[in-house]
């Protein structure tokens, strides 16, 4: 199981725009998404006192926004396209690959490890999200 919660903060804007284009978003709409994502600035304040300098955000999706969950889904939607032996499911901010077997089967374990490696290699822009993962067998 992959914990994708961190993805909200690490999504690469250029890759997200590429994926939106790939899904058929036209140029005018892409420009709107670019204006929404790019050139965002942030500063840390406590009781109206600036604690940090203003800095530019180059990655991440605005959390708490209406578009945030939709953009997150667009970004992770192709996560399972590179697996060959397993099936995949999403639930909230977790992703899971699984296979069925009977007892301990070395081939099953090898296939799961192989698919996990494929996800790590092929899932463009998701590397920071795939550093935290959990394994379980039943």
Mean pLDDT of 20-37: 94
Residue (of 122, 105, 9) closest to 57 by Cα position? 9
Alpha carbon distance 12, 30 (integer Å): 15
| More confident position, 42 or 135 | 42
Global pTM reads: 0.72
Burial (Cβ within 10 Å: 0-12, 13-18, ≥19) of residue 46: exposed
H/E stretch holding 13: helix 13-22
Q: At what angle do helices 13-22 and 27-37 cross, to 10 degrees?
A: 160
| pLDDT tens-place string over residues 68-102 | 888 988 888 888 888 888 888 877 677 788 888 77
Q: What is the mean pLDDT of the chain?
A: 81
Alpha carbon distance 106, 6 (integer Å): 32
Of 5-9, 11-15, 79-83, 122-126, the poorest mean pLDDT is in 122-126
* Percent share of the chain, pLDDT over 70: 82
Q: What's the confidence (pLDDT) of residue 31?
A: 96
């Amino acid at each position: 199981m992959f914990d994708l919660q961190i993805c909200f903060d690490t999504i690469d804007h250029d890759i997200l725009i590429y994926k939106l284009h790939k899904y058929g978003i036209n140029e005018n709409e892409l420009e709107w998404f670019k204006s929404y994502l790019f050139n965002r600035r942030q500063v840390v304040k406590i009781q109206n006192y600036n604690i940090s300098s203003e800095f530019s955000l180059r990655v991440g999706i605005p959390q708490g926004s209406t578009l945030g969950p939709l953009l997150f889904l667009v970004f992770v939607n192709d996560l399972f396209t590179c697996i060959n032996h397993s099936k995949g499911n999403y639930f909230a901010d977790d992703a899971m690959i699984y296979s069925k077997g009977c007892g301990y089967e070395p081939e099953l374990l090898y296939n799961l490890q192989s698919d996990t490696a494929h996800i790590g290699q092929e899932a463009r822009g998701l590397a920071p999200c795939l550093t935290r993962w959990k394994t379980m067998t039943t």
